[in-house]
Amino acid sequence: MAILTISQEMGSGGAEIGMTVATRLGYTYVDNEELLGRAQRYGLGEERLARLVEDRPSWVERFDAETRRCILALQTVLYEFAQADNVVLMGGGGQWLLRGVPHAIRTRIVAPFSERVTRLTATLSAEGRERVTPKTVAQFIRRDDIQKTARMRYLFDVDLKDPGLYDIHINTAVLSRAAAVQLLADVARQAEFITTDPGRQLVADRALASHVEVALAGHHDLRRRAINVESRQGVVTLELSSGADPDVALAVAKGVPGVQSVTLRTAEIPIVSSFPV
């Protein structure tokens, strides 16, 4: 059927809406915990993965090749979940990574700042959290907003609030959670969001390219080299910087499951020191 991606402001109720929609449609619900669990199979540190799934790297980490591999692994597992269709993806940059996918419904769920503070304060107080005040909750929400915005800008050079990243924009101060769930469930059932073969292939191509990127980033001789990867129906194209060993890159790419053939082209690309700022 469809892929539903949800980007939420903390306190807007987006997670609750996403979980309820997934239950109603019989979809798989994937949040940061699910992404982290699957990404750990790449042998990466849980603590760093947990932070990078929500925040951008520190200045020191931006020059660390392992950070790059962590981020690529998180993106790869998101593509893996997306390939299965019938899924609700909460966060993870899905609104950018799945751009142009015809059966992906990219949603942004927001609420006014004061409303979010009131809701989250009530929720945390009901859970028996100590020292919960509107002031501390406001600081917490403000910091989360900044982190999410900075992460999207750092990784993809896009504005998290850009309406062009979303197909549906929901303000839960205007639309109730129940109404939001009904809206998203109804849209997901529409004929235009039924998965087609071209749409399925587009996701598969991006997933395979991402798998190759992770493999290249994990190789000692290639992890600090810029290698652009493209994939189309199992045919992978590597665009190498002048310092990358083509034989090694070719062997690594061919070793990735699903790769049928690999072609090379050379470009003057500098050594990778970090993701774009």
Q: Is residue 51 part of a domain?
A: yes
CATH number for the domain spanning 218: value is 3.30.70
Same domain, 53 and 132: yes
Domain end among 193, 208, 229? 193
| CATH code, 80 | 3.40.50.300
**pLDDT of res. 56:** 85
Same-domain check for residues 187 and 223: no
**One domain for residues 71 and 108:** yes
Q: What is the pLDDT of residue 90?
A: 97
Q: Say what the pTM is.
A: 0.91
State residue 270's pLDDT score: 53
User: Is 138 found in the same domain as 122?
Assistant: yes
Domain that holds residue 153: 3-193
pLDDT of residue 217: 92
What is the predicted pLDDT for the residue at 164? 96
Structural domain count of the chain = 2
Quick one: 62 and 135 in the same domain? yes
Residues 14 and 137 in one domain: yes
Same domain, 48 and 181: yes
Same domain membership, residue 65 and residue 25 = yes
Residues 202 and 189 in one domain: no
Three-state SS string over the chain comes to CCEEEEEECCCCCHHHHHHHHHHHHCCEEECHHHHHHHHHHHCCCHHHHHHHCCCCCCCCHHHCHHHHHHHHHHHHHHHHHHHCCCEEEECCCHHHHCCCCCCEEEEEEECCHHHHHHHHHHHHHHCCCCCCCHHHHHHHHHHHHHHHHHHHHHHHCCCCCCHHHCCEEEECCCCCHHHHHHHHHHHHCCHHHCCCHHHHHHHHHHHHHHHHHHHHHCCCCCCCCCEEEEEECCEEEEEECCCCCHHHHHHHHHCCCCCCEEEEEECCCCCCCCCCC
State whether 180 and 256 are in the same domain.
no
Answer yes or no: do 179 and 240 share one domain. no
Per-residue pLDDT of the chain (277 residues; tens, 9 = 90+): 799 999 999 999 999 999 999 999 999 999 999 999 999 988 888 888 888 888 888 887 877 888 889 999 999 999 999 999 999 999 999 999 999 999 999 999 999 999 999 999 999 999 887 778 999 999 999 999 999 999 999 999 999 999 999 999 999 999 999 999 999 999 999 999 999 999 999 999 999 999 999 999 999 999 888 899 999 999 999 999 777 899 999 999 999 999 999 999 877 555 454 444 3
Residue-level pLDDT at 241 = 79
Same domain, residue pair 206 and 133: no
